[in-house]
Amino acid sequence: MEKYVNVIGAGLAGCEAAYQIAKRGIKVKLYEMKKHKKTPAQKMDLFAELVCSNSFRSSDPKNAVGLLKEELRMMDSLIIRIADKTQVKAGASLSVDRELFSKLITEEISNNPLIEVIDEEVTKIPEGYTVLATGPLTSDALSDEIGKFIDEKYLHFFDAIAPVIEKDSIDFTKAYYKSRWDKGTADYINCPFTKEEYLTWWEEVVNAETHEAHDFEINVFEGCMPFETMAKRGVDTLRYGPMKPVGLYRDDFKPYAVVQLRADNLANSMYNIVGFQTKLSYGAQDRIIRMIPGLENAKIIRHGQMHRNTFISAPGLINASYESLKRPDLFFAGQLSGVEGYVESTASGLIAGINIARLVLGKELIKFPRTTAMGAQAYYLENASKEDFEPMNVNYGIFPPIEGRTKNDRKEAYSERAMEDLKRFKDESKE
């Protein structure tokens, strides 16, 4: 009987896994339910839809997520290749034209002769070789089945997505282009506050009405915290977070706080508000966004909203190959596996795809060196504390330490060590 792999979910991790499996000559059945059933956060029928932000974050290889992207390029990642191809100007970060990115991913996956796309919802974990990559938007039926399979209480919480503004509605007598400390190119639009303007605006934010709260919303992941929740932690919390003004001075004017906007498409006609994930009511969003200097007449193309994020408590359930410890032919990938972030999800899909292909081919599974960003992320999933496990973006805190260096030298040393070890590992594993 001909062997094939089921991949459930055509998000970033699922598409990356399907590509890696097919690349190794194995047939894939890729299941995606969007054409028949979308979640509230999804808008397109296309694969790899970016529902939260259009940014893959820093491109600096000395930064942990920048290093992770470099590693993925070395390993021929489909997602990063298309992200590079659809990049929009965003200073030192890799941001993409959201729709074009998903369109090209969909075309490449759909045109691959070894990948059969099946447009239907999967409500039970399939028998046989399977990668579960249903992401933060896993359907209720499949979530229930996964919960039963792992015999583990499922962790549910909601992420918040940021509003998108039409560029032509921005007042450039007040707003200006600049990247922080003039690093990269000046691709961010900055809306500066005076102290008086900020304090008036902050009062409105902390007293604004939100969408009706639900019990599950108390578990919102720290890295995707709604901006109004941050505001309620203190009057200066936003000023030391997404509205930090340092490095964004204009001539002799030193703003008290700054709202930044980043291009959301290649045409630069739409901009998302950086760090402004929100669960405010639409009416409150309209009022508060238009209190921002330069956005008084803002045309809001998409309001912010909350969407569900579902993940397993990875330690004790999967290993660093993303293989289920309970069922060896079942792999988890993407945010469902306990990673956080677009690039991290892509990396998990790549590792899961490579390993399940090796399993089908009768080869030994591989674990990436812990000194690499991909390996450090996988090691964290396998070895973190199970009792208080929480999704985490890749960071140098989960790498084996390098001593005796200054902070900047240490970052460069982490990056150099990772790339050297990955090259050696790639040669040795013949991957």
Q: Are residues 256 and 134 in the same domain?
A: no
For residue range 50-105, what is the model confidence (pLDDT) as tens digits?
Answer: 987 889 998 998 899 999 999 999 999 999 999 999 999 888 899 999 999 999 99
Q: Are residues 168 and 26 in the same domain?
A: no
Q: Which residues pair with 332 in a beta bridge?
A: 132
Which of 308, 336, 359 terminates a domain? The answer is: 308
List the CATH number of the domain containing 318: 3.50.50.60
Provide the sign of the torsion angle of the four alpha carbons 338, 343, 345, 350, taken in this order. Answer: negative
Alpha-carbon distance values, 253 to 18, 174, 216, 250, 399 (Å): 51, 12, 43, 5, 40
Q: Are residues 199 and 267 in the same domain?
A: yes
Q: Give CA–CA dist 320/342, Å, rounded.
A: 19
Q: Are residues 288 and 320 in the same domain?
A: no
Question: Which residues form the domain of 279?
Answer: 161-308
Q: Give CA–CA dist 398/149, Å, rounded.
A: 29
Mapped to the 3 state alphabet, what secondary structure does 242-280 carry?
A: CCCCCCCCECCECCCEEEEEEECCCCCCEEEECCCCCCE
187 torsion bin: left (phi>0), alpha (psi -120 to 50), beta (else): alpha
Alpha-carbon distance values, 346 to 209, 211, 251, 334, 421 (Å): 36, 31, 41, 7, 20
* Per-residue pLDDT of the chain in tens (431 residues, 90 and over written 9): 779 999 999 999 999 999 999 999 999 999 999 877 766 566 778 999 998 788 999 899 889 999 999 999 999 999 999 999 999 988 889 999 999 999 999 999 999 999 999 999 999 999 999 999 998 878 889 988 998 998 756 555 555 678 999 999 999 999 999 988 888 788 899 999 999 999 999 999 999 988 654 434 444 555 567 899 899 999 999 999 999 999 999 888 899 999 999 998 777 888 999 989 888 999 999 999 999 999 999 999 888 877 667 889 899 999 999 999 999 999 999 999 999 899 999 999 999 999 999 999 999 999 999 999 999 999 999 998 877 777 888 988 899 988 777 666 888 999 999 999 999 999 999 99
Q: Are residues 264 and 226 in the same domain?
A: yes
pTM of the model: 0.77
| Torsion angle defined by CA atoms of residues 323, 324, 326 and 328, in that order, rounded to the nearest 10 degrees | -40
Which of 290, 308, 326 terminates a domain? The answer is: 308
Containing 75, the helix (H) or strand (E) segment is: none
Q: Are residues 335 and 214 in the same domain?
A: no
Q: Are residues 170 and 121 in the same domain?
A: no
Which of 308, 338, 368 terminates a domain? The answer is: 308
Q: Which residues pair with 307 in a beta bridge?
A: 159
Q: For the chain, how big is the Rg over CA atoms in Å? A: 22
Q: Are residues 12 and 150 in the same domain?
A: yes
363 Cβ partners below 8 Å, 6+ apart? none
Residue 218, pLDDT score: 40
List the CATH number of the domain containing 196: 2.40.30.260
Q: Are residues 180 and 112 in the same domain?
A: no
Q: Are residues 50 and 26 in the same domain?
A: yes
Residue 216, pLDDT score: 40
Q: How many domains does the chain have?
A: 2
Q: Give CA–CA dist 402/376, Å, rounded.
A: 14
Q: Are residues 97 and 171 in the same domain?
A: no
Residue 224, pLDDT score: 66
Q: Are residues 49 and 126 in the same domain?
A: yes
Alpha-carbon distance values, 321 to 8, 45, 79, 190, 289 (Å): 18, 30, 19, 42, 44
